[in-house]
Amino acid sequence: MAKDLEVAILFADVVGSTQLYDQYGDTKASETVAHCLDVMKDATHQFNGTVIKTIGDEVMATFPTVDDAMAAASQMQKRIGAEGDDQKGHIPVSIRIGCHFGPVVQEHNDIFGAAVHTANRMTSQAKARQIVISGTTVDRMSEDWQGQTRQIDVATVRGRLDEVALFELIWQPEEATSMLPTIEWESKSRKTSRITLSFRDTTVVVDDSKKNINMGRADDNDLVVKGNLISRIHARVEKRRGKFLLVDQSTNGTFLQNARGEETFVRRDTTELFGEGIIGLGRVAKPGTPLAIHFICEE
């Protein structure tokens, strides 16, 4: 039977495991990954956690409190990091960890829900030897653990309209890069609050209530633009840290022309939108032409 509960969800995975197999061979690499998984599971059990499942080189676990999760995460990093530093027959290996506290549905020894996606997103944002947690999770920590965190970024999460603050848990305080205690992630001098995009008879707005839109030839895009050079999901416009960004994810790229006629080409990359101009998917689109997407940034 399904059960609702609130837990700290933790993901930990081995960084670059594919390269380990290429460099050291299947036997040695698989032994190393298996050992890392054992360390992750041991730390989970030691600090009142439950291993939900292992997926390849990754462990997914839950903890009743964030403090328990942070204690386990720190131990995982310290043990695996120390073994790699010793270099006594060990393959040098690193792990990354992400954590988020939130409601989940538990069913058949597995958990489901938006909080699981957020925890997984924290892991994808972490670098080797790093522990990344969400801002709301930091609020659930005791003061001692909060004193070991710092904000490092903000990120969007699938299924959420708002951005999530990313914090790092400093498990090696002596090695932490010095940072200012407070960082203004949203520029106070930037007055632009929304961007309006128009294509033929369709107009969409990106602002704090809707922070991203998709453009492409598939019918479920916010702006549907048909053309033989246009990908199904060609590009998106998103609001991030107070800026409006054009993110191309297409085969043929996106062409941008500002009000002064200056052109920019973006393919599998990101550029900032400001002022007003024309977006062309897959080819240059001059103002007034059938495939032109007009945009204007507004206060």
Q: Which residues contact 194 (CB under 8 A, 6 or more apart)?
A: 205, 206, 207, 297, 298
Q: What is the pLDDT of residue 175?
A: 56
Cα(20)–Cα(209) distance, integer angstroms: 43
pTM value is 0.62
Give the model's pLDDT for residue 240.
80
Q: What is the pLDDT of residue 105?
A: 94
Rounded distance, CA 190 to CA 187, Å? 6
Q: What is residue 216's predicted lDDT score, i.e. its pLDDT?
A: 95
User: Residue ranges of the chain with pLDDT lower than 70?
Assistant: 1-2, 84-90, 157-162, 173-192
Q: Provide CATH code, domain 3-175.
A: 3.30.70.1230
Q: Are 10 and 72 a contacting pair, CB within 8 Å?
A: yes
Computed from CA positions of residues 279, 282, 287, 291, in that sequence, does the dihedral angle turn out positive or negative? negative
Which of these, 243, 126, 99, lies nearest to 185 by C-alpha position?
Answer: 243
The reported pLDDT for the residue numbered 208 is: 86
Q: What is the pLDDT of residue 189?
A: 44
User: Given this model, what pLDDT does residue 173 score?
Assistant: 64
CA distance 128 to 175: 14
The amino acid that residue 103 corresponds to is: P
Q: Domain segments of the chain: what residues? A: 3-175, 194-298
CATH topology assigned to domain 194-298: Tumour Suppressor Smad4 (2.60.200)
Q: Residue 191 has what pLDDT?
A: 54
Total Cβ atoms within 10 A of residue 59: 26
| Six-digit token string for 54 | 């292992």
Give the pLDDT confidence of 100-134 residue by residue, as tens digits: 999 999 888 899 999 999 999 899 889 899 999 99
Q: Give the tens place of pLDDT for each residue, 154-165.
A: 777 665 656 788
